[in-house]
Every structure is written in structure tokens, then in C-alpha cells.
Amino acid sequence: MLDLKSRIRDIPDFPKKGILFKDITTLLKDGEAFQKVIEKITCFYEGEEIDKVVGIESRGFIMGAPVAYGLNAGFIPVRKPGKLPSDIYEAKYELEYGTDTLTVHQDAITPGERVLVVDDLLATGGTMAATLDLLKQLGAVVVGVAFLIELTELKGRDKLAGHQVLSLVSY
Ligand code: AMP
């Protein structure tokens, strides 16, 4: 059994003091480990008739795009403000200090389409909750949300109540 945790690097005090940053670049550069991550998520949702995989900027793109390919689904980027060129919906969410915003194209999803959302890490759940807010505005049917890493102490799952949450490794 390939050990994914041993491929994830801890960086203390990044990007600021007190944060233990989970660096996945050490996993991504390992072809076998990267393939295992994509395979595990893809296998879990095979048979769920996913129409679109949504990836959250920017590490959610790295994982979301190959999952979309594997599920024969389209890929939708959820991006930071000022990046998407056509008409958008936006959702604001709380950070430790202040707020941030995520955006999606208004025509990204047809109402009723079945969607899987992918990101690298679940911490407080604010980023994913804002993304689910956007998907609600689009009328998407969210089949599940998938993460490589879950930081269980931060109880992000509580913000995602009512959704199926998959995480491959937890701390
Ligand atoms: P949250 O909204 O609190 O669930 O934070 C999730 C987002 O912030 C993800 O997109 C992660 O990439 C990033 N993030 C939060 N905490 C960490 C951490 N300890 N290490 C790496 N990335 C993190």
C-alpha cells in the first residue's frame, strides 16, 4: 500500500507564523503517488454519472482536471476575482482576517448537472462552502466533495453538512 502521508511535507510557519503548511509539491512530483491520488478519487465516483468536475484555484486545478478526464466529465475552474473573462457569479467568505471572494462563469453549468468538487485540503471549510454557494446559484446537483487532505481539528466538515465528503488522508 503506497503511503501518501509520507509524500506530504510539513512546512512550519508558512505563509505566516503559527500555520503548519501541508506542502503537496513533494507528492505531486512522485508519479506513482500522484497517479494513486487521482485513481482513488476517480474510482470512488465512477458510476455516479458526474457531468462536471469543479476545481478550486489553484491546487484544486491540479487534481480536478485529471479527475475530470478520468470520469469523462467536463472541468470547471472556480477562480479568484478578476480572472474569468465572461459573466460571473461571486461568493464571499471569511478568512482569519477579512474576507475573500471566489467566482465562476454563469454559463459553467446547466441546472441539474451532476457535479463533483475537488480541492487539495479541507481546513475550516470556508473555501468549499463558498464554492457550494456558487454551485447553488448555478443550479448544480452536488454529488460529492473530495479532498486529498483533511485537517480534522478545524471541523471543516461541519460547514459542509448534507454533502458527501471524501478525504484521502487526515491529520
Ligand atoms: P479552508 O477554507 O479553511 O478550508 O482552507 C482551505 C484552503 O486553504 C485550501 O484551498 C488550501 O489549499 C488552503 N489551506 C488552508 N490551510 C492550509 C494548510 N495548513 N496547508 C496548506 N494549505 C492550506
Alpha-carbon gap, residue 27 to 7, rounded angstroms: 5
Residue 12 domain-assigned?
no
Residue 2 domain-assigned?
no
Backbone angles phi, psi at 167, to 5 degrees: -130, 140
Residue 58 domain-assigned?
yes
pLDDT tens profile 150-161: 999 999 999 999
The backbone region for 103, taken as left when phi is positive above 0, alpha when psi lies in -120 to 50, beta otherwise, is beta
Residue nearest to atom 17 of ligand 1 (CA): 21
Number of domains forming the structure of the chain: 1
Judge whether 157 counts as a catalytic residue: no
Q: State the pLDDT at residue 151.
A: 98
Alpha-carbon gap, residue 171 to 143, rounded angstroms: 24
Which CATH number does the domain housing residue 112 bear?
3.40.50.2020
pLDDT averaged over every residue in the chain: 97
Check if 22 has its Cβ closer than 6 Å to any atom of ligand 1.
yes
Check if 19 has its Cβ closer than 6 Å to any atom of ligand 1.
yes
Residue nearest to atom 13 of ligand 1 (CA): 121
The domain in which residue 105 lies consists of: 36-170
Residue 4 domain-assigned?
no
Distance 21 CA to ligand 1 centre (A): 8
Q: State the pLDDT at residue 20.
A: 96
Mutate to test the pocket of ligand 1, among 16, 121, 122, 158 (most ligand atoms within 8 A of CB): 121
Residue 18 domain-assigned?
no
Which has the closest alpha carbon to 26: 18, 37, 17, 42?
37
Mutate to test the pocket of ligand 1, among 127, 152, 155 (most ligand atoms within 8 A of CB): 127
Distances (CA, A) of 148 to 8, 27, 154: 10, 11, 16
Alpha-carbon gap, residue 23 to 63, rounded angstroms: 14
pLDDT tens profile 55-109: 999 999 999 999 999 999 999 999 999 999 999 999 999 987 789 999 999 999 9
Residue 14 domain-assigned?
no
Q: State the pTM of this model.
A: 0.97
Judge whether 59 counts as a catalytic residue: yes
Residue nearest to atom 18 of ligand 1 (CA): 21
pLDDT tens profile 7-45: 999 999 999 999 999 999 999 999 999 999 999 999 999
b/e sequence 79-90, b meaning 16+ C-beta within 10 Å: beeeebeeebbe
Residue 161 domain-assigned?
yes
Residue 25 domain-assigned?
no
